[in-house]
């Protein structure tokens, strides 16, 4: 994903989680829908968390599925340091410094999950990653991506972004926090829901769906 992206997130790692709920106005439904997508998989799960950041998604998964064995990877040392502080003492949890664009994904996994990370890849990189994820999953396994997405046309995208900025300021986010989020967003290469569902199908996933969307936040999933 590039050293520039990893360095930016490492700089913001310590304060990254503090503003999460205000940056994601639909936080509970967004993350909850991603975790719920795995409900039909039996325990104990083996899970790869790609671009795991501070370990937030994995922590929420482990609250619901405490017997899961989870491997968290990220390209940022700073982010993984925060994840280790959150989950490092927990049995069945491991960590690896890795760039999702090129790393061996290992497996086979019951599920591959990701939150707000894959949009840092260019579109060709996303398509290639979807294929690699499919090959890393067990038969019947799920790929679940809790992601930020763009609207299907420029007018709708401008409206979507304006509503998001209004919402995060109304939630009490400081201008410094808004600026930090905007800095991180300069690395974003988001794609539409329609394009990503198409890429998942092309990669060989079935049961491809978007079970949740609220503005720029969507959960995209597919099954092997």
Give the C-alpha separation, 187 to 189, whole Å: 7
CB 52 within 8 A of CB 31: no
DSSP code for 120: G
For the chain, the structural domain boundaries read: 3-140+149-223
87 confidence band (pLDDT: 50, 70, 90): very high
Q: Confidence class of residue 211 from pLDDT cuts 50, 70 and 90?
A: very high
Per the model's pLDDT, the better-predicted residue between 183 and 155 turns out to be: 155
Angle at 102 between CA 94 and CA 1, to 5 degrees: 90
Task: Count CB atoms within 10 A of the CB of residue 3.
Answer: 11
Say whether pLDDT at 7 is over 90: no
| pTM (predicted TM-score) | 0.91
What's the confidence (pLDDT) of residue 193?
98
Q: How confident is the model at residue 20 (pLDDT cuts 50, 70, 90)?
A: confident
Is the CB of residue 1 less than 8 Å from the CB of residue 8?
no
Pairing type for strands 137-148 and 217-223 reads: antiparallel
State the average pLDDT for the chain: 92
Domain 3-140+149-223: CATH superfamily is: Vaccinia Virus protein VP39 (3.40.50.150)
pLDDT bin (cut points 50, 70, 90) of residue 184 is confident
In this structure, what is the dihedral angle of CA atoms 123, 153, 145, 141, given to the nearest 10 degrees? -80
Q: Provide the pLDDT confidence category of residue 12 given band limits of 50, 70 and 90.
A: very low
| pLDDT value of residue 180 | 86
Token readout for 14 is: 């310590």
Rounded to an integer, the average pLDDT of 100-111 is 96
pLDDT in tens, 121-158: 999 999 999 999 999 999 999 999 999 999 999 999 99
Nearest to 25 by CA among 183, 190, 145, 172: 172
Distant-in-sequence, close-in-space partners of 46: CB < 8 Å, separation ≥ 6: 68, 69, 109, 110, 111
Per the CB < 8 A criterion, the answer to whether 191 and 122 are in contact is: no
Checking if the pLDDT of 8 tops 70, the result is: no
């Amino acid at each position: 994903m590039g050293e520039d992206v990893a360095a930016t997130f490492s700089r913001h790692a310590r304060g990254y989680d503090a503003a999460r709920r205000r940056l994601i106005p639909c936080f509970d439904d967004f993350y909850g829908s991603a975790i719920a997508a795995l409900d039909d998989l039996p325990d104990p799960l083996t899970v790869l968390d790609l671009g795991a950041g501070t370990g937030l998604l994995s922590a929420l998964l482990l609250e619901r599925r405490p017997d899961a064995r989870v491997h968290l990877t990220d390209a940022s040392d700073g982010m993984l340091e925060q994840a280790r502080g959150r989950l490092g003492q927990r049995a069945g949890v491991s960590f690896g410094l890795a760039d999702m664009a090129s790393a061996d994904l290992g497996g086979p996994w019951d599920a591959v999950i990701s939150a707000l990370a894959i949009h840092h890849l260019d579109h060709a990189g996303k398509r290639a990653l979807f294929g690699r994820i499919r090959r890393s999953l067990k038969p019947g396994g799920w790929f679940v991506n809790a992601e930020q997405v763009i609207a299907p046309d420029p007018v709708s995208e401008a409206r979507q972004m304006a509503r998001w900025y209004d919402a995060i300021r109304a939630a009490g986010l400081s201008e410094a926090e808004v600026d930090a989020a905007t800095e991180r967003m300069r690395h974003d290469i988001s794609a539409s829901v329609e394009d990503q569902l198409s890429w998942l199908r092309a990669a060989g996933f079935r049961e491809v769906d978007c079970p949740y969307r609220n503005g720029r936040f969507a959960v995209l999933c597919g099954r092997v």
